[in-house]
């Protein structure tokens, strides 16, 4: 593979301006096995498998979708025939950004959900976004995701409320979303929690499942009101309403709360 790469680079055309191309091939132990400098001023655009694989490191792929960069694996992108499998074909020229990431000129709003569908073969479709997601699924030739959008139904609020730890534990385990927020509340505090709970659903309900569990009012007040679960990493944190956004950022990375357009 090293010899093929060297020979490919040596064949780059050289003409005109004063600049140089230096090639250093390093072994895994850190020693250099060859270093050469080639004068060059003009390097032709090369459409080969080596160049198309530039953003791939041990099977990782970075995709710039409408200005937002996502990282996934070749295995995930190759699971479904169509757009993404074709994107990785060695004989296909693709657009790249200045960092060598494959560029896709689409709105990134729902791309995390699309990646999760390809990873897990299933996702919950936010009912309010089903038409937008369906358009993206059609563009990416994901027929099973199109069907999920067609079958999407409004979430019933009664399905979010639980009275026992075992019930909410089962709900968290069965959730197909990347994260789950569990909100603790006292049944006689409906007025106090209503506005906060509505805010949580509006901000995070599209990306995460939000469940509620009541606790006995005779128990001493807990020092937290939310549990946040990252199902991919199997990590969880406890927090208050005030610290919810910071907790989500620490578990999932910096994200902004969802805002309806």
User: Do residues 143 and 169 both lie within one domain?
Assistant: no
The CATH number covering residue 220 comes to 3.40.30.10
Q: Which of 150, 174, 200 is the last residue of a domain?
A: 150
Q: How many domains does the chain have?
A: 3
Q: Answer whether residue 261 is part of any domain.
A: no
Residue 235 — very low, low, confident or very high, per pLDDT cuts 50/70/90? very high
Residue 45 in any domain: the answer is: no
Sequence-ordered list of residues with C-beta below 8 angstroms from that of 84, at least 6 positions apart, any chain = 77, 78, 118, 140
68 and 34 together in one domain: no
Residue holding tokens 């079958």?
Answer: 151
The mean pLDDT of 206-234, rounded to a whole number, is 77
Regarding whether 168 and 144 lie in a shared domain, the answer is no
Q: Which of 58-62, 133-137, 147-151, 198-202 has the lowest mean pLDDT?
A: 198-202
The answer to whether position 213 is within a domain reads yes
For residues 19-36, average pLDDT: 44
The whole domain housing 127 covers 51-150
CATH number for the domain spanning 82: value is 3.30.710.10
Buried b (16+ CB within 10 A) or exposed e, 96-112: eeeeebbbbeeebbbbb
How large is the average pLDDT for residues 29-39?
A: 44
Within a 10 A sphere around the Cβ of 227, how many other Cβ atoms?
Answer: 19
Least confident window among 1-15, 24-38, 167-181, 241-255: 1-15
Q: Does residue 200 fall inside a structural domain? A: yes
Report whether pLDDT(248) > 70.
yes
In a domain, 260, yes or no: no
The verdict on 84 and 117 lying in the same domain is yes
């Amino acid at each position: 593979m090293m010899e093929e790469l060297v020979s490919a680079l040596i064949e780059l055309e050289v003409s005109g301006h004063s600049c140089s191309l230096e090639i250093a091939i390093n072994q895994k132990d850190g020693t250099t096995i060859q270093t050469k400098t080639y004068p060059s001023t003009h390097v032709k655009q090369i459409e080969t498998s080596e160049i198309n694989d530039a953003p791939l490191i041990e099977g990782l792929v970075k995709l710039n979708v409408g200005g937002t960069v996502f990282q996934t694996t070749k295995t995930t992108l190759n699971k479904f025939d169509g757009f993404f499998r074709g994107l990785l074909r060695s004989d296909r020229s693709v657009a790249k950004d200045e960092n060598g990431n494959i560029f896709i000129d689409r709105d990134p709003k729902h791309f995390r959900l699309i990646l999760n569908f390809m990873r897990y073969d299933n996702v919950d479709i936010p009912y309010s976004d089903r038409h937008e997601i369906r358009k993206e699924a059609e563009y990416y030739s994901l027929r099973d995701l199109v069907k999920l959008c067609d079958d999407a139904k409004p979430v019933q609020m009664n399905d979010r409320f639980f009275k026992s730890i075992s019930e909410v534990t089962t709900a968290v385990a069965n959730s197909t979303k990347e994260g789950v927020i569990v909100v603790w509340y006292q049944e006689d505090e409906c007025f106090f929690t209503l506005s906060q709970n509505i805010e949580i659903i509006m901000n995070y309900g599209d990306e995460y499942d939000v469940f509620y569990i009541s606790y006995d009012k005779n128990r001493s007040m807990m020092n937290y009101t939310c549990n946040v679960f990252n199902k991919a990493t199997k990590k969880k944190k406890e927090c208050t309403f005030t610290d919810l956004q910071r907790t989500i950022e620490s578990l999932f990375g910096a994200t902004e709360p969802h805002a309806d357009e």
